[in-house]
A and B are shown apart, each in its own frame.
Chain A
Amino acid sequence: MKKSILGFFAFLLVVQIGLSNVNSKSPLFNNLQDYGGVVWYNLVTPDISSSKKFYAKLCKWTFQDFVVKGQKLAIISNNGQPIGSMIEIKKADSSAWIASVQTDNIDASISDFVANGGRVIIDKFKINQSVGEQVIVEGPLGEKLSFIETMQPKMSLLENKEGKWIWQELWSSDPSISEKFYTTTLNLTVTETEDDGKPYWIFKNGDKKVAGLMTNPLTGANPQWVPYVKITDIDGAYNLLQQTDAHVYLKPTPEVRNGNIVVFQDPLGATLCFENFANN
């Protein structure tokens, strides 16, 4: 419990300090972005040096390091654009990616989230004047995410560009509960599809696809939001993964999305997917 509390306080620190520093040096938001999706990812890791080395090798990301009161953190950039941050929590049991969903009314989002069965883990806090406020929450099945309200222009990371976040997916232990919860609390609609007999739900904001939902394919793991990164050379990425301590859950195989996906756990425990998504 103490580790969790320490982790979350450190997580707040990286968000506050990290975003403040990025915002002062380069624009975090731009007019290509839009509401309704994940706009930022944070990696909590017990070994930031190891995590940076791993993701630099796999995703070609670069990092801007900070040390604040002895706390190591880094802003993640993809091709010069900040897309997330890392915070080192040495006592953390494993690493984990936490998504931030944009809202234009954080109080309403919190109220709806709690009223429908979610809970607040960390009360809302102000990042800075230009970015806005953020809150850390947990869905009804234990999945964690955060809301961020900003006065900045609309933003979204769902651009189909190499090295960027291109999708997020909820791996749920009960999709019917998750569907009802997120359509209600985030004011989304949902469309059910089926590929090879596997049901899949697409959350939409208007006509814009913002996230997916499916039954958790992992046994022995809690429900979680899982990010996808655009990597064109999936086979090359798989070969690189095999040279690391990452654990590959799903190697590229023609039976699954024509071999354009690899799913893995990074060497410190965070789940991530690489996808060569061709259609825009």
Chain B
Amino acid sequence: MKNLIKILASIFVIVSIYSLTSCANAHIASSAGVDVVWGSHGPRVVPSMSIGVYGGGRR
């Protein structure tokens, strides 16, 4: 029984690590004009850019 618990715990830890790793640099689009990006310090909300509007740069 103890071995079973250890095995299940190990599987849980491994799956958790892979799940968190997959969150790194994840990009979640929203419909509110902002995006949520996931960096090493956790999630943060960032504005979204409309490429069709941007025409900047030094003239």
Q: Which residues of A contact B (CB under 8 A)?
A: 166-167, 169, 171, 193, 195-196, 198-200, 202, 209, 212, 214-221, 226, 228, 245, 247, 249-250, 253, 255-257, 260-261, 263, 265, 267, 269, 273, 275, 277
Contacts and interface: CB of A to CB of B under 8 A. Distances in A.
A256 B51 contact: yes
Contacts of B32: 220
A195 B44 CA distance: 33
Contact of A250 (B34, B35, B44, B54): B54
B55 A219 contact: no
Q: Which label, helix, strand, loop or mixed, suits the secondary structure of the A interface?
A: strand
Given A193-B59, A228-B58, A245-B41, A250 B49 contact: yes
Among B33, B39, B53, B57, which residue has the most Cβ atoms of chain A within 10 A? Answer: B57
21 contacts: A169-B57, A193-B59, A198-B54, A200-B55, A200-B59, A209-B58, A214-B56, A217-B50, A219-B33, A219-B47, A219-B48, A220-B33, A249-B47, A249-B49, A250-B54, A256-B51, A256-B55, A256-B57, A261-B56, A263-B56, A275-B57
Interface residues of B, number: 24
Contacts of B35: 247
A90 B49 CA distance: 28
Contacts of B47: 218-221, 249, 265
A198 B59 CA distance: 14
| Pairs A-B, 9 closest by C-beta atoms | A198-B55, A219-B33, A245-B39, A167-B58, A221-B47, A220-B34, A220-B47, A249-B49, A217-B54
Contact of A277 (B40, B46, B48, B58): B58
A277 B57 contact: yes
B46 A265 contact: yes
A212 B55 CA distance: 10
Contacts, number: 93
B37 interface: yes
A169 B39 contact: no
Nearest to A47: B41
Interface string B4-25: 0000000000000000000000
B57 A257 contact: yes
Contacts of B59: 193, 200, 202, 209, 212
A220 B48 contact: yes
Contacts of A275: 57-58
A202 to B, nearest CB: 5
A275 B35 CA distance: 24
A260 to B, nearest CB: 7
B58 A218 contact: no
A253 B52 CA distance: 13
Given A215-B53, A219-B48, A247-B46, A166 B58 contact: yes
